[in-house]
């Protein structure tokens, strides 16, 4: 069995936590050269660089971020071990590390994950946001318990993971009061030439919207395109254009952004998946999220317009 030097891991963890060698040296009462040498030995052992130098600062590499997450858990457990031996209650909550694909609508993600915080057992939820590929890599390294995505695991992926469909939603179109008054009548044909805010071409939702618009010969006037769905909605709230969002969070969108419903489209579907390394979900919080999504979140939606 291979082992690492936990003293070296501790020094790395403190340097990453304190933000540099000098600050960490004061905490550990060790010199700058000593700390640097210990971290280099850990890097040699792992075969990967943990820090990169940016100007005068040290920044964690991608591998460094993964190692830091594990080290953080290891030393928290060590502290709780001492408490337990001393007869003190640890009060340790169940940890749920979730990766969220960066293009997903945040209101839907909140609705999906919220049941995890309602379990009788206290849950410590940790969310990371990144690209699908990066999150799959972290999942393979067991740095994440689950990934919430808008598509199943891509065919031919090097990561062995399983896709669990949580549910799907039709799409609603929203706009300010002025835009809704102008474009609601005659929907969806009224969208011809209408100012529109769209997600980037690389997103699943954009591809579905493009196909639907092309199929019905509708050509809106694209004002702007966004990677971040929350930023898109902020521009929509400012009246810059009409935008699409998940019908399942229709009320939240209208309440939070002060917009009105223009129309719903059943043909455009957004699907949401839980990606795990397990064929059968076992983590109690993940099971709660999955069950609630299927039975509550996506179970009932208002009727959508069909064309």
For the stretch 116-153, pLDDT in tens is 999 888 899 999 999 898 898 888 878 888 999 999 99
CATH of the domain at 41: 1.10.10.10
**Do 264 and 214 lie in a common domain?**
yes
**Do 102 and 76 lie in a common domain?**
no
**Do 77 and 10 lie in a common domain?**
yes
Query: What is the per-residue pLDDT for 263?
Result: 95
**Do 74 and 147 lie in a common domain?**
no
Question: Residues 166-209: pLDDT tens digits?
Answer: 999 999 999 999 999 999 999 999 999 999 999 999 889 999 99
C-alpha R_g of the chain: 24
Residue-averaged pLDDT of the chain = 88
pTM for this entry: 0.69
User: What pLDDT band is residue 35 in, cutting at 50, 70 and 90?
Assistant: confident
**Do 32 and 98 lie in a common domain?**
no
Residue 104 included in any domain? yes
Domain end marker among 23, 55, 85: 85
The pLDDT of 271-297, averaged and rounded, is: 89
Residue 135 included in any domain? yes
**Do 105 and 68 lie in a common domain?**
no
For residue 56, what are the contacts with CB-CB under 8 A and spacing of at least 6?
none
Domain end marker among 50, 85, 120: 85
User: What pLDDT band is residue 301 in, cutting at 50, 70 and 90?
Assistant: low
**Do 52 and 189 lie in a common domain?**
no
Question: Residues 91-116: pLDDT tens digits?
Answer: 678 889 999 998 899 999 999 999 99
Query: What is the per-residue pLDDT for 114?
Result: 93
Residue 268 included in any domain? yes
CATH of the domain at 109: 3.40.190.290
Q: Please answer whether residues 172 and 264 qualify as being in contact, where contact means their C-beta atoms are separated by less than 8 angstroms.
A: yes
Tokens found for residue 272: 């949401």
Which has the minimum average pLDDT: 94-98, 118-122, 220-224, 299-303? 299-303
Query: What is the per-residue pLDDT for 207?
Result: 93
Is the pLDDT assigned to residue 49 strictly greater than 60?
A: yes
- What are φ and ψ of residue 212, in 5° steps? -65, -45
Is the pLDDT assigned to residue 56 strictly greater than 80?
A: no
Beta-bridge partner residues of 146: 98
> The domain containing residue 72 runs over which residues?
6-85
**Do 65 and 130 lie in a common domain?**
no
User: What pLDDT band is residue 232 in, cutting at 50, 70 and 90?
Assistant: very high
Query: What is the per-residue pLDDT for 281?
Result: 86
Residue 260 included in any domain? yes
Is the pLDDT assigned to residue 162 strictly greater than 70?
A: yes
**Do 51 and 103 lie in a common domain?**
no
**Do 75 and 104 lie in a common domain?**
no
Residue 1 included in any domain? no
Q: Please answer whether residues 32 and 25 qualify as being in contact, where contact means their C-beta atoms are separated by less than 8 angstroms.
A: yes
d(CA 86, CA 233): 52
**Do 27 and 165 lie in a common domain?**
no
The pLDDT of 245-258, averaged and rounded, is: 94
- Domains in the chain, number: 2
User: What pLDDT band is residue 236 in, cutting at 50, 70 and 90?
Assistant: very high
Query: What is the per-residue pLDDT for 244?
Result: 96
Coil, strand, or helix at residue 124?
strand
Domain end marker among 29, 53, 85: 85
Nearest Cα to Cα of residue 40 among 29, 28, 53, 56: 53
The pLDDT of 209-219, averaged and rounded, is: 95
**Do 48 and 105 lie in a common domain?**
no
State how far Cα 147 lies from the chain centre. Answer: 7
Residue 12 included in any domain? yes
Residue 227 included in any domain? yes
Nearest Cα to Cα of residue 271 among 140, 170, 192: 170
């Amino acid at each position: 069995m291979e082992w690492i030097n936990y003293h070296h891991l501790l020094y790395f963890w403190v340097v990453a936590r304190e933000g540099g060698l000098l600050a960490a040296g004061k905490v550990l009462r060790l010199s700058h050269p000593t700390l640097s040498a210990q971290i280099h030995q850990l890097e040699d052992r792992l075969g990967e660089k943990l820090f990169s130098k940016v100007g005068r600062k040290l920044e964690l590499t991608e591998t460094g971020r993964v190692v830091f997450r594990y080290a953080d858990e290891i030393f928290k457990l060590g502290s709780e071990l001492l408490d337990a031996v001393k007869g003190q209650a640890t009060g340790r909550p169940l940890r749920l590390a979730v990766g969220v694909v960066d293009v997903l609508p945040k209101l839907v993600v909140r609705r999906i994950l919220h049941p995890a915080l309602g379990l009788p057992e206290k849950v410590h939820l940790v969310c990371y946001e990144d690209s699908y590929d990066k999150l799959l890599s972290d999942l393979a390294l067991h740095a994440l318990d689950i990934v919430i995505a808008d598509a199943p695991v891509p065919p031919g992926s090097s990561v062995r993971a399983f896709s669990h469909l949580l549910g799907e939603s039709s799409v609603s179109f929203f706009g300010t009061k002025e835009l809704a008054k102008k474009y609601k009548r005659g929907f969806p044909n009224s969208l011809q030439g209408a100012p529109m805010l769209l997600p980037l071409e690389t997103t699943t939702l954009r591809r579905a919207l493009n196909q639907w618009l092309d199929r019905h010969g509708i050509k809106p006037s694209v004002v702007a395109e966004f990677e971040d769905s929350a930023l898109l909605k902020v521009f929509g709230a400012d009246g810059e254009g009409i935008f699409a969002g998940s019908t399942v969070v229709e009320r939240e969108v209208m309440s939070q952004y002060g917009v009105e419903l223009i129309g719903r489209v059943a043909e455009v579907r957004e699907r949401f998946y839980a990606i795990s390394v397990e064929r059968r979900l076992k983590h109690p919080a993940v099971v709660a999220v999955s069950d609630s999504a299927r039975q509550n979140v996506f179970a009932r939606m208002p009727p959508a317009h069909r064309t």
